[in-house]
Amino acid sequence: MPIGVMFFLMAAFVVAVIYFTKAAVLQLEQQVDADVFKVKESYLGIIRQKDEQAAEKERLQEATRRIYNLYDLMRELTKAADVAEAFGIFKEHLHRELVVEDCQLVEHSPKDLAKFPSFKDYRFFPLKAKKMVLGELAYKGGQVDEEAFTILAQQFALALRRIRLCKELEDMAITDGLTHLHTRRYLMERFQEEFQRARLKGLALSMLMIDVDFFKRINDQNGHLAGDLVLREVGRFITQHTREIDITGRYGGEEFCVILPDTDKTGALVAAERIRAAVQAGRVLANDAELCVTVSIGVATFAEDAQQMEELLDKADWALYRAKKNGRNRVMGFKV
Active site residues: 254
- Asked whether the beta carbons of 299 and 321 are under 8 A apart, the reply is no
Task: Determine phi and psi for 99, rounding to 5 degrees.
Answer: -90, 95
Residues in Cβ contact with 94 at an 8 Å cutoff, skipping those fewer than 6 apart: 100, 103, 149, 152
Q: Which amino acid is located at 220 in the chain?
A: D
Q: Report how far residue 205's alpha carbon sits from residue 260's, in angstroms, rounded to the nearest whole number.
A: 6
Q: Report how far residue 260's alpha carbon sits from residue 274's, in angstroms, rounded to the nearest whole number.
A: 14
- Measured at the alpha carbon of residue 231, what is the angle toward residues 225 and 236, in degrees to the nearest 5? 125
- Measured at the alpha carbon of residue 319, what is the angle toward residues 316 and 321, in degrees to the nearest 5? 115
Which conformational region is residue 40 in: left (phi greater than 0), alpha (psi within -120 to 50 degrees), or beta?
alpha
Residues facing residue 136 across a β-bridge: 106, 126
Q: What is the DSSP letter of 266?
A: H
- Asked whether the beta carbons of 256 and 293 are under 8 A apart, the reply is no
- Asked whether the beta carbons of 299 and 268 are under 8 A apart, the reply is yes
